[in-house]
Amino acid sequence: MADNGVHQLTQAELMAQMAELQAEVKRLAELSTQNNAGKHEENGSKGKRSADLLSVNPPKEKLTLDNPFSEEITNYQMPKNFTLPSSLEPYKGIGDPRAHIKKFQSMMFFNGPNNDPVLCRAFPTYLDGAALLWFSKLPAGSISSFKELAKSFIDYFAAARIYVHGSDYLATIRQGPQESLKDYMTRFAEATMEIPDLDPAVHLHALKAGLRPGKFRERIVVTKPKTLEEFRKRAAGQMEIEEFREAERIERKQPRRDADRTTRSANNKDSRKPFKLTLKFDNYTRFNTKREKIIKEILNAKIIKPPTRAGSYQDQRFVDKSKHCAFHQKYGQQLTSA
């Protein structure tokens, strides 16, 4: 029976096709099982052979480094008083390799004039991590001078060069409002130390651009120094002027301090002067009797309150008995006669 030109399978035809498919699946499964069994047997035999080889000749761990130096360097007798610098950090494969080379050479000057055998033999001591692994892979006898060793080291770790700043960073350095020219140029010089192969023209332009507004900057704009040396000469004069002004400022403060100190000492001296009674009148009525008698009569009449008992003036053994105070009733003190 046809429907829209498409032949419809009968039930018998469908059953036949299903039987064929089941038979094909069964055949493929049997083939897969046979292949897996063969692989297991092959792997088993290989594993057994490997185990046998391991039991007979186990691999040995490499505990020594290959010597990449020539016979001349290897057989060189190191100086008796040679000492390794202790302040140099080992290079681990991160950072500028050229900077490490320069630091190493400068510290090795401590042992006298550098020579290739000494530098080559000492250099691996300051390697660690990836750098030490690099050194261990150098071909035996491939290094005959420190120049060759340094070049191979720099070339291999060229990609690891990490700079703190580039030349663009110099444009961010500005002289502070109260910063002296000397301090500014010192800070600027420290920044340029971190930038390799700095163009002198870029250096000079950034140095001039960072100056704060003022007379010196105007002078630089007018004179237009073409080289760093010309700029430094003009800057040297300006730095002398600033130092002179600072010295004057300190000197101006010094007299004030001395004057204040003199005033304070004078005030202290005045405060230590003894009390002096100032007479209120020019003439006074003279007493017709002694003061001692007048005081006794005042005390007897209780016109004033008698004084409290005073302490001894001094050791009674040395008291002057010829002097007696009627008011305090003590020997050793006497009222002045009228």
Domains for the chain: give ranges and CATH numbers.
Answer: 71-160 (no CATH), 167-253 (1.10.1200.30), 288-307+323-332 (no CATH)
- 107-141 per-position pLDDT tens digit: 888 767 668 888 999 999 999 988 999 999 999 88
- 157-191 per-position pLDDT tens digit: 887 765 556 678 888 899 999 899 999 999 988 88
Least confident segment among 38-42, 153-157, 334-338: 334-338
Please tell me the predicted confidence (pLDDT) of residue 334.
52
Closest CA to 131 of 174, 169, 94, 81: 94
Closest CA to 232 of 188, 199, 284, 194: 188
Of 10-14, 191-195, 307-311, highest mean pLDDT: 191-195
- Tokens 């190191």 correspond to 78
pLDDT band at residue 6 under the 50/70/90 scheme: very low
Burial label for 257, CB within 10 Å (0-12, 13-18, 19+), is exposed
Q: Are strands 6-7 and 2-3 parallel, antiparallel or unpaired?
A: antiparallel
Which H or E element spans position 2? strand 2-3
> What is the distance of C-alpha 266 from the center of its chain?
49
- Percent of the chain residues topping a pLDDT of 90: 24
pLDDT band at residue 51 under the 50/70/90 scheme: very low
Closest CA to 106 of 90, 87, 130: 87
Please tell me the predicted confidence (pLDDT) of residue 54.
44
Task: Check pLDDT > 50 for residue 4.
Answer: no
- Percent of the chain residues topping a pLDDT of 70: 60
Per the CB < 8 A criterion, the answer to whether 70 and 144 are in contact is yes
3-class secondary structure, 112: coil
pLDDT band at residue 253 under the 50/70/90 scheme: confident
Please tell me the predicted confidence (pLDDT) of residue 319.
66
172: its two tokens: 């961010």
pTM of the shown model: 0.37
Please tell me the predicted confidence (pLDDT) of residue 291.
75
Per the CB < 8 A criterion, the answer to whether 168 and 177 are in contact is no
Average pLDDT over residues 53-71: 60
Please tell me the predicted confidence (pLDDT) of residue 337.
44
Please tell me the predicted confidence (pLDDT) of residue 40.
56
Please tell me the predicted confidence (pLDDT) of residue 150.
94
Report the alpha-carbon distance of residue 220 to residue 192 in Å, rounded. 21
Task: Check pLDDT > 70 for residue 208.
Answer: yes
Per the CB < 8 A criterion, the answer to whether 34 and 41 are in contact is no
Report the alpha-carbon distance of residue 100 to residue 85 in Å, rounded. 13
48: its two tokens: 């057994």
pLDDT band at residue 61 under the 50/70/90 scheme: very low
